[in-house]
Amino acid sequence: DTGVSQDPRHKITKRGQNVTFRCDPISEHNRLYWYRQTLGQGPEFLTYFQNEAQLEKSRLLSDRFSAERPKGSFSTLEIQRTEQGDSAMYLCASSLDDPNYGYTFGSGTRLTVV
């Protein structure tokens, strides 16, 4: 297991189109998280899963955003009807259910909405 994988690395889309990102976490990690990072800012929490259950969603996650982790392994993040304000780096991370354990992040998907 080589870490957290995200696909694609880069995505350019036209405003109004739908996009979907994929994240493959470290296999032993039962928790999976999605973050969004805009230029010059730290990552902001979007949502997280424990196994297949989505346990928390940020207010940042509008109705156009949906995330799934159907079998408790990989996860997808879909953005419908993209807007220019959605342009950002989308980071996925995984971890164990241990407060003293850090997150392992993927390389991120950089989304540009034109």
Partner 1 sequence: AQKITQTQPGMFVQEKEAVTLDCTYDTSDPSYGLFWYKQPSSGEMIFLIYQGSYDQQNATEGRYSLNFQKARKSANLVISASQLGDSAMYFCAMREKSYNTDKLIFGTGTRLQVFP
Minimum distance of partner 1 from residue 59's CB (angstroms):
13
Minimum distance of partner 1 from residue 49's CB (angstroms):
10
Minimum distance of partner 1 from residue 80's CB (angstroms):
24
Cis previous bond, 99, omega within 30: no
Which CB sits closer to partner 1, 52 or 80? 52
Which CB sits closer to partner 1, 48 or 65? 48
Distance CA 86, CA 70 (A): 24
Which CB sits closer to partner 1, 63 or 98? 98
| CA–CA–CA angle 103, 38, 83 (5° rounding) | 120
**With left for phi above 0 and alpha for psi between -120 and 50, is residue 3 left, alpha or beta?**
left
Positions that interact with partner 1 (CB under 8 A): 31, 33, 40-45, 48, 55-56, 89, 91, 93, 97, 99-108, 110
Minimum distance of partner 1 from residue 31's CB (angstroms):
7
Which CB sits closer to partner 1, 50 or 80? 50
